[in-house]
Amino acid sequence: MDSLSLLTPAKINLRLEIIGKRADGYHDIQTIFQKISLYDEITFTLSPCNDITVTVDDASVPSGKNNIVYKAARLFMQDQNLSAGVTIDIKKKIPAGAGLGGGSSNAAATLTGLNKLFNCGLKQDYLFRLSQPLGADVPFFLSGYGTARASGTGEILTPVSLETKLWFLVIFPGFSISTAWAYNSYSNNILTKRKKNTIYISSIKNTDDIVPLLLNDFERVVIPRYPVIETTKNELIKAGAVGSLLSGSGSSVFGIFSSKKESANAPDKLPYQANHKAFIVHS
């Protein structure tokens, strides 16, 4: 095999609670991840040059050594003592810095893709351990779960049974939010004052099961600084969403709809915003 292409999905968080700050600087969380049908595409090609080359078709995302895909590829190649070259081309559809996990998904796909390309035969547990330095969301994207409850920093995963297809309208407001800023702001101002209200769930039958889950601790620091987030949430509700929430640390906001038709009709009901991007997706 000389070349391999993979689709890498985005995610949203149906719930996200920040439990506490750890001694290592990371945060313990409780979250419910949901993969959605918004994808980047990554192509891995063997190269005669003894090097890793990463290109991206989106100027807002760094190519080369500053891309998390390069870091994942280097980590894998060093771990497996591989000296061969590889070219990695990324076609972006998932906005960067949007709380949709695009970078983490790309990194997970890189470990999976290189494992296949070089026929290393590494098991999932091994890739999980290898992915630890790359980011808290990477294990979820390495897993085969479409929906999962996560704890720890996000690496402790428990599958959630999703018994219906869910439809979402995801709005990217045209700007990114730093995850590091969001965590620091929350830790400095809110974390010691919060009341824990963790919900454990093993199955989701329909949208009625999701609405009581919807909570994102990051909204408490993100909305005061970026009030358009709350405006967008309210507009999605007016457009027919049964619930709306910030995803991750933002900046994307999603609305949950009762059917494909409802989600498809919703964009026409939203006020026009030149810098906004709308994605109609499903679970």
pLDDT at site 187: 76
> Which of 194 and 246 is assigned the larger pLDDT?
246
143 and 225 inside one domain: no
94 and 151 inside one domain: yes
229 and 106 inside one domain: no
C-alpha distance from residue 62 to each of 54, 82, 207 (Å): 9, 24, 37
45 and 125 inside one domain: yes
For residue 196, name the pLDDT band (cuts at 50, 70, 90). low
85 and 143 inside one domain: yes
Contact residues for 22 (Cβ-Cβ < 8 A; gap 6+): 28, 153
pLDDT at site 215: 96
The region of weakest confidence among 13-27, 92-106, 151-165, 216-230 is: 13-27
Q: Against a cut of 0.85, is the pTM above it?
A: yes
Strand partners, 102: none
Cα 155 to the center of its chain, rounded Å: 13
For 173-190, how does the pLDDT look when each residue is reduced to its tens digit (9 = 90+)?
A: 999 999 999 988 887 767
Measured distance CA(224)–CA(113) in Å, rounded = 40
What token pair was written down for 179? 């995850």
- Helix axis angle for 102-117 and 68-79, nearest 10°, is 30
> Which of 218 and 200 is assigned the larger pLDDT?
218
40 carries an active-site annotation: no
Measured distance CA(74)–CA(278) in Å, rounded = 34
11 carries an active-site annotation: yes
User: Of 130, 159, 188, which closes a domain?
Assistant: 159
For 135-175, how does the pLDDT look when each residue is reduced to its tens digit (9 = 90+)?
A: 989 999 999 999 999 999 899 999 999 999 999 999 999 99
151 and 184 inside one domain: no
Catalytic residue (choose from 71, 137, 217, 233): 137
Contact residues for 111 (Cβ-Cβ < 8 A; gap 6+): 72, 75, 76, 127, 130, 131, 142
User: Of 159, 180, 200, which closes a domain?
Assistant: 159
Assign residue 234 the CATH number of its domain: 3.30.70.890
Measured distance CA(28)–CA(242) in Å, rounded = 29
pLDDT beyond 60 at 192: no
Catalytic residue (choose from 11, 35, 92, 233): 11
What is the count of structural domains for the chain?
2
Assign residue 127 the CATH number of its domain: 3.30.230.10
For 263-280, how does the pLDDT look when each residue is reduced to its tens digit (9 = 90+)?
A: 999 999 999 888 999 999
The whole domain housing 245 covers 163-282
pLDDT beyond 70 at 193: no
90 and 199 inside one domain: no
